[in-house]
Structure 1
Amino acid sequence: MIRALLSGFILSAQSLTAGEVTQVDYADLAGQLPGLVDFEDFATLPEPGQPVPGPIIYSGLVIGAQLAGQTVRPVDGFDLLEGIPDLPLRSSLGDTDAALAVAYHAGFGSNAAFPLGPDGFSKRSGRGEGALALVFDNSVSAFGLKLHADYPDPLGSRPQPGTVTLTFYDQSGAEIAHHDLQPVHGVNAVGLLIAPPAKAITLTHRDPGGIAVDDIRYDQDSLGS
């Protein structure tokens, strides 16, 4: 049934050149993907919320701060991931106690996750400046998420959001592709088709206001493994 619902997206992904990532409408894609991480199973707490020890395990997905074997290098207050991941691919916290914090987010109107950066949970400058690593039980050809890049700024005095980079890995640990997002202030809904299917995805960014992530969507029935 899932494969029937996803058939149009699968055919689209299969038509991509190897190593290609194509952005599609999040709402259309999300309606076809049964895997959902919305962080609503955590207590609803105002910011700063709570640090969450991990890796965090969901059905078909494990979320950490990096892939095991990678190293985290702080650069200008952000986490940069380097190195070749170990096999089999696994999400890891590295040297941190928590990969992210979860809090009620006014921009989303619901719980959201803030990846923790070099300054950690205790400082505002650490919440939202970190990296994330997602490892799937089964490789995925379609993936979506919502991210918030700072808050709307009606006076126009805040800097523009920085680049968010998604890096995709196949099950051999080889990089499939990089995909750079240029978010706007507020909620950005992103749907992606990936070829070949991705076993793991890492997220790094350079957004001066920090990011929050919500409503991660993925397939739980392998589209390729």
Structure 2
Amino acid sequence: MIRLAALILALTPSAALACGAPVCLVDPASLSLTRIITFEDQRSGAGPGHNIDEVLPLLGATFGEHFAGQSVTARGAHDEIFGDAFSPLTLMAGPAGQNLSLVNFAGNTVLNGYGRAGFPKRDGQGEGAIAVLFDQDQSALAFDLRGGEDGAALVHFYRRDGSFIGPVAIQPTGEFAVAFLRSGGHADIAGFIVTNTDPQGLAMDSLRFGKPPDLS
């Protein structure tokens, strides 16, 4: 509880202003995001879930494992992503059985990355990288972490030309929402990758993004 309270304190808007990084963790409630992907309308299953060996295109964003130009290695059962992304930023799937799955978890459909153990092995579920490519560049986004057990996650952010914006660490992991805000309000987040070293792996739910319309 002490570590979770410290994380919540770190997610305040004032902490974002003072973080000094290209992308900052912020309070999810502080963002006005107009679009959401819940995965509820996609085919899924219990246990290991429904295996997805290709990139998963949904309205507003596409999901995969990494970006073209990068390599994927293993840190134990977990994926690690290395190298520069090519321009333009292009989403890639992992090998068969080591990409994604959609799982019914606690009444919701969540997205898993599958690690080197491969589908349908439990040791691979949630250990794989999840890469997301937006249809349009973003200045802020949020998503729900599912299944975290006090491990660690790392989110890497990229521009449309493949250049690296910066990383944001999340530790400890748990069952809560995380939100990210680009410094200076720059709307140049074309994509991101989530990796983790959580002992039980991590899943993603309810990706939120999209600016409110300018009515001025």
Partner of 1:194: 182
**Per-residue deviation at 1:123?**
0.5
Counterparts of 1:76-225 in structure 2, within 5 Å, are 76-96=76-96, 99-106=99-106, 109-150=107-148, 161-185=150-174, 187-195=175-183, 196=186, 197-219=188-210
Change (3 A) 1:97 1:49: closer
The Cα offsets for residues 147-195 of structure 1, whole Å up to 9 and x where unpaired, read as 1234xxxxxxxxx52210001111221111100001344x120111013
1:173 match: secondary structure: coil
Query: Matched residues in 2 for 1:148 and 1:132: separation?
Result: 13
Partner of 1:20: 22
List alignment gaps of at least 5 residues for structure 2: 1-13
Query: Matched residues in 1 for 2:213 and 2:80: separation?
Result: 29
Contact 1:68-1:92 within 8 A present in 2 as well: yes
Partner of 2:65: 65
The Cα offsets for residues 116-157 of structure 1, whole Å up to 9 and x where unpaired, read as 11111121000100001111121110100001234xxxxxxx
Query: Matched residues in 1 for 2:85 and 2:18: separation?
Result: 25
2:176 match: secondary structure: strand
Counterparts of 1:22-37 in structure 2, within 5 Å, are 22-29=24-31, 32-37=32-37
The Cα offsets for residues 70-129 of structure 1, whole Å up to 9 and x where unpaired, read as 1110111111001111111111014345621111112xx311111111111121000100
Query: Matched residues in 2 for 1:43 and 1:169: separation?
Result: 29
Change (3 A) 1:38 1:198: same
Contact 1:116-1:126 within 8 A present in 2 as well: yes
- TM-score of the two chains, using structure 1 as the length reference: 0.78
Greater relative contact order, per chain length (Cα 8 Å cut-off, separation 6+): 1
- TM-score of the two chains, using structure 2 as the length reference: 0.81
2:123 match: secondary structure: helix
Contact 2:98-2:115 within 8 A present in 1 as well: no
RMSD value, Cα: 2.6
Tell me which stretches of 4 or more aligned residues in structure 1 moved more than 6 Å: 15-18, 220-223
List alignment gaps of at least 5 residues for structure 1: 1-11, 151-159
Equivalenced residue count is 197
Identity %: 30
